[in-house]
Amino acid sequence: MKPRRSILSVPGHVEKMHHKASKTNVDVIMLDMEDSVPVNMKEEARKQIIQSLMTIEWGNKTLSVRINSLDTAYGYRDLLEIGESAGHIIDSIVIPKVNHPGDIYFADKMLGGIEINKGISKPVGIEASIETAGGLENVTEIAGASSRIVTLVFGIADYSASVGARLVSISGHGEQEDKIYPGHRWHFALSRIVMAAKARGIMAIDAPFGNFKDPEGLRGSGSMACAIGCDGKWVIHPDQIDIINQVFSPCREDIDRAVKILEAFNQAQSKGRGAVAVEGRMVDQATVHLAKQLYDQARYLKII
């Protein structure tokens, strides 16, 4: 699967932002019909997204569309019209506020029918956004509800509201957390999402960091997410892309360590030994697997 280090959320009704996004070095462009679009512009946003998908040169970027939640008057129309008009172009649909695997069953069946009807050979993926206490409680079943699911996404602001957590910043997206809580306030929720995702071989994506004028805060937030197993992070401004790409890319030190582990493993295998020692420390198969994942990612990104 292509990397999803950085996912740029772009308002669906603002065409000029679509053109600007297409020229960035972000991994994923997510054209949004939900939170960034006023209620009176939902239908206009849907039409604009379809037009942009059909006419803009997107290069090799991964393309996704966030529809409105399926318990609104807009969600089913978003899924139907985007799927029928641009299902052959997009890589995935982001479904917000997924609380139950039934949401995924519904989207899976509708997309399947659209693909049959339109002759679309490549299945459209589903990205399930976990944004409530109910969604987190059901995250294991949600993650396994369809083979289309490619990521689980943490929706921090709505989750905070769902559990009644204290609001400590203007955006509600990860700022000033260290002022009220020792450590990572959302460690359990995010780790739970990571576990459910990785148990099924899919990606886990962290929520955006709200203050796009605080690069160090962004770097710290991304580094914590990366450290516990997230594969990428949403960004809300183009200025955040380079930092997040860097955070979620293997650094030179990590690559050198992975190469050392893999060389030792290959040497041990060639001599018929199962145990692998590196610098006086034993290395197990899980560590070898991690080293191989990191090395393969570095090669894909052309870092080595």
64 DSSP 8-state letter:
E
Q: Residue written as tokens 């939640």?
A: 69
Rounded Cα–Cα distance for residues 105 and 304 (Å): 41
What token pair was written down for 47? 């039409």
Write down the pLDDT at residue 279: 83
Q: Residue written as tokens 């020692």?
A: 277
What token pair was written down for 52? 């942009």
Write down the pLDDT at residue 177: 66
Q: Is 273 helix (H, G, I), strand (E, B) or coil?
A: coil
Kindly state the helix (H) or strand (E) to which residue 17 belongs, with its residue range: helix 15-22
Rounded Cα–Cα distance for residues 212 and 205 (Å): 18
Between strands 62-66 and 276-278, the pairing is unpaired
**Which CATH superfamily hosts domain 6-247?**
Phosphoenolpyruvate-binding domains (3.20.20.60)
66 has binding-site annotation = yes
* Environment class of 282 (CB within 10 Å of its CB; exposed 0-12, middle 13-18, buried 19+): exposed
* Environment class of 117 (CB within 10 Å of its CB; exposed 0-12, middle 13-18, buried 19+): exposed
192 has binding-site annotation = no
What token pair was written down for 177? 């957390």
Domain-by-domain residue ranges, the chain? 6-247, 252-300
177 has binding-site annotation = no
What token pair was written down for 215? 């690069």
Q: pLDDT digit of tens for each residue in the chain (304 aa)?
A: 789 999 999 999 999 999 999 999 999 999 999 999 999 999 999 999 999 999 999 999 999 999 999 999 999 999 999 999 999 999 999 999 999 999 999 999 999 999 999 999 999 999 999 999 999 999 999 999 999 999 999 999 999 999 998 766 545 555 566 666 667 889 999 999 999 999 999 999 999 998 899 999 999 999 999 999 999 999 999 999 999 999 999 989 989 999 999 998 888 888 777 678 788 788 888 888 888 988 998 998 988 8
